[in-house]
Amino acid sequence: MRTNKEKYDFYMRQFDALVSEFVIKQYPHGFPDKFFEVLKFDIRECSILGARVYGYFYDLEKPKRTDIEKIKKFLKGHVEFSRSDIRFDYQYHYGDYSISGTISESQIDNDKRKSFCREELIPLLERNIEKYTIKEGDIKCDYCGAAVKETEAETYTVVNHKMYGARGKTGRYCSGHGVYDQMAHEG
């Protein structure tokens, strides 16, 4: 090993082996292959492509001597990873596009709109459909999009001279959301 890149890559392979070993210990039967997310009127399926530990070391094109020393020191006095260090690489399709990202298990567990089990999200989806479907006598809230009875809707004028001039923009809102729309339009 002569160059910094060769040295760094050598240590990165050792680091990656530690990560793989840790992930296998945490998920001996394999990590989940997908999770689900409730949208307004649908449940999106997100495919999990892999699991890894983030936040320690990354592949570098031009590592410096200090980068090599950091990874070397880490490998000598290796601190145990925790399950919260694991992030899932995921992907879903939106029209003609593929969207990808990373998410931790705790982010899925702590978000009521996400789950590893599609069936757990069906009650939330049904509530969304009930909340956002416009029926006779309803209007759509200009802020959140929820259906609100026309007789219960509040009229509010959003004042933003740059966007709407001196007259502002008058909208119909469900309870209290006109104020939120005003705040959203303030810079």
Poorest-confidence range of 77-91, 99-113, 153-167?
153-167
What's the rounded Cα separation, in Å, for the pair 42 and 53?
31
Q: How confident is the model at residue 56 (pLDDT cuts 50, 70, 90)?
A: confident
The whole-number average pLDDT for the span 18-33 is: 92
Residue 39 has pLDDT above 90, yes or no: yes
- 26 or 59: which leads in pLDDT: 26
Q: Is the Cβ–Cβ distance between 146 and 131 less than 8 Å?
A: yes
**Domain-by-domain residue ranges, the chain?**
4-128, 134-185
Instruction: Annotate 94-129 with DSSP letters as a single string.
Output: ETTEEEEEEEEHHHHHT-TTEES-HHHHHHHHHHHH
pLDDT for the residue numbered 187: 58
pLDDT digits (tens, 9 = 90+) for 93-150: 988 999 999 999 999 999 999 999 999 999 999 999 998 888 899 888 888 888 888 8
